Amino acid sequence: MLDILAIKADVYQLERQGKRLPVYRHLREVWQKEPPSEGLTVLALQQMVDYVKYVDDLTVLGEPWEAENEYDLYQDFLLDVISWGLQKYRAKKRFLWQICYYVNAWATFYYIFGREITQENVEQWKKTLFEEAKERYPDSMLFEFIPHAAQLDYVWFYRLTDEQRLQIRLEVGEWNLQKNNMDQAVQSYFDDAMTWYRDNGRKLLEAKKTRRIIEGGHPMSKQTPKQQSLCNNKFDGLMNAAPHKRYKSFAVTVADWESVWLDCDPNQPLPDEGVISVWPEEMFAAAVCTDKPFFKMDVHDFCDLLEAHPDATIRVFPNGKNWTDMAAEDLLEDVLEELDRVE
């Protein structure tokens, strides 16, 4: 059996070259040497999802690929890996957790669609896999972790007991994560949720107590289960999307819905310099503005505000980790273009 630690060490060295194709070729080579282990299956699954998503983003940005067929190389390998994993390691904790992570946020990771998992059956896969995880690993905290992290459920993380936090760290520790990018991404995923999410949960509860944010600010709570599921997917997909994709979504959505959500009071004087954060919908503003109020504004009034403060910096659709900063006059041009399209 090939040593997964040695494979990850090789991947780490290849990653330092700053190229994707050498990593792909190495994983393809070791994949074909003998029946892939669970560790190699998970690594290849993560790496190909990451690469195909990255190349897809390059396409949107109009930047070059490393090869003309780069997207297809990663996508084909990814589907091979998913097929093998579901056949051989569906009951194994590490693979099961990783595939649950992807199907839970399928609006972002739709690259997994193709063979066994499709857009038509992904919700059933999601339901089935999480049920299997609960049955096979009833004492694990890691599967419960996924939907709470995806929905930025800060309060859930704040209310975790010390024993539960320790259990999560011990379970993750069993995976023996290494220095390669994918292992580090998993480690950061848990570390961020256990610290940053927890702190935001505390702030959110304090803010609610003093009524400094809108009560019931998450509109998903008022929907039917089916509507809530669709809204969850939309929320997860956009909050995890690349900044440039969120920027485009902002311009299109505010034009369609004719409203904008801001982190400052539009009825108060705004400085010519400074940063104003904006979101296209209330649920996104509520997820980020955990320690301060946020406000709704008509999109046409918002355009007037941008025109009055052309030098202001507008932070478009921040998710707490990344965003797009635009000059007010540049954002105004894009919003007006979308309004012209709608009207």
Q: What is the pLDDT of residues 121-162, one digit of tens each?
A: 999 999 999 999 999 999 999 999 999 888 777 778 888 888
The tens digit of pLDDT for each residue in 170-227 reads 999 999 999 999 999 999 888 888 887 666 666 666 655 544 444 334 444 444 544 4
Backbone angles phi, psi at 123, to 5 degrees: -65, -35
Instruction: Please check whether residue 282 is in contact with residue 219, taking contact to mean a CB–CB distance below 8 angstroms.
Output: yes
Residue 343 has pLDDT above 70, yes or no: no
Hey, where are the domains in the chain? 1-132, 242-342
- What contacts 255, CB < 8 A, 6 or more positions away? 299, 335, 338, 339, 341, 342
The pLDDT score that the predictor gives to residue 299 is 92
Would you state the pLDDT for residue 140?
A: 95
Residue 316: what pLDDT? 94
From 343, 49, 61, select the one nearest 186 (Cα to Cα): 49
| pLDDT score for 198 | 66
More confident residue, 52 or 269: 52
Residue 233 pLDDT more than 80? no
Q: Compare 201 and 298 and report the one with higher pLDDT.
A: 298
CB 74 within 8 Å of CB 122: no
What's residue 95's pLDDT?
98
- pLDDT exceeds 80 at position 232: no
pLDDT of residue 210: 47
CATH number of 242-342: 3.40.1350
CB atoms within 10 A of CB 146: 19
pLDDT at 272: 53
Task: Could you list the beta-strand ranges (E) of the chain.
Answer: 259-262, 275-279, 295-298, 313-316, 324-327
User: Range with the lowest mean pLDDT among 21-25, 110-114, 250-254, 272-276?
Assistant: 272-276
User: What is the pLDDT, as a whole number, of residue 219?
Assistant: 40
Q: Which of the pair, 4 or 156, is modelled with greater confidence?
A: 4
pLDDT at residue 342 tops 80: no
Closest CA to 49 of 18, 17, 27, 34: 27
